[in-house]
Amino acid sequence: MKLKQILNNISNTEILHKLFEFYPEQKESLDGYVDVLEKLRNLTHKESDFKIVIYQVVDFSDEERYWSVSGQKDNDPQYWAIEYTPWEEWLSSEVEFDKRLSLVSVIALCLWEMTWSGFDQEKIKNDIEELNKIALKIIKE
């Protein structure tokens, strides 16, 4: 199932309730999340070359468990960070997830990951460009 299909079947209220259950400290950013959900509902998807994979990780140093949201390309065992990926691509991606998760949990976890760098795609794009400049500078040194 694609992320957009899941999103279309769950209300903002349900998503936000679950998001704040996972991340209570994010309640202070309610307006940002509401704005992003509305943007996501109105965006046209753009084909993606990855699927979204959500799996549980155990931090063996303190036994803490958390959900990881990553991208994975076909025939590639590597998981990739996707928080800087355009939201249009998230929407068209298939989602593979631990069956212990509900669909509303899947959306909440994806929402948190896709807004990790902010609530505005233009700002996120600028952050990526800045990171690329820094990386190029380091490579040249």
Closest CA to 89 of 38, 41, 44, 128: 44
| C-alpha to C-alpha distance for 2 and 140, rounded to whole angstroms | 40
Q: What is the pLDDT of residue 38?
A: 97
The domain total for the chain is: 1
Q: What is the pLDDT of residue 112?
A: 96
Q: Is the pLDDT of residue 4 over 80?
A: yes
| C-alpha to C-alpha distance for 32 and 23, rounded to whole angstroms | 14
Print the domain residue range for 111: 3-140
Q: What is the pLDDT of residue 139?
A: 87
Render pLDDT for 66-122 as a digit per residue (tens, 0 to 9). Answer: 999 999 998 899 999 999 899 999 999 999 999 999 999 999 999 999 999 889 988
Tell me the average pLDDT of the chain.
Answer: 93
Render pLDDT for 28-82 as a digit per residue (tens, 0 to 9). Answer: 999 999 999 999 999 988 999 999 999 999 888 877 889 999 999 988 999 999 9
Q: What is the pLDDT of residue 7?
A: 97
Q: What is the pLDDT of residue 20?
A: 98
| SS3 assignment for 44-90 | CCCCCCCEEEEEEEEECCCCEEEEEEEEECCCCCCCECCCCCCHHHH
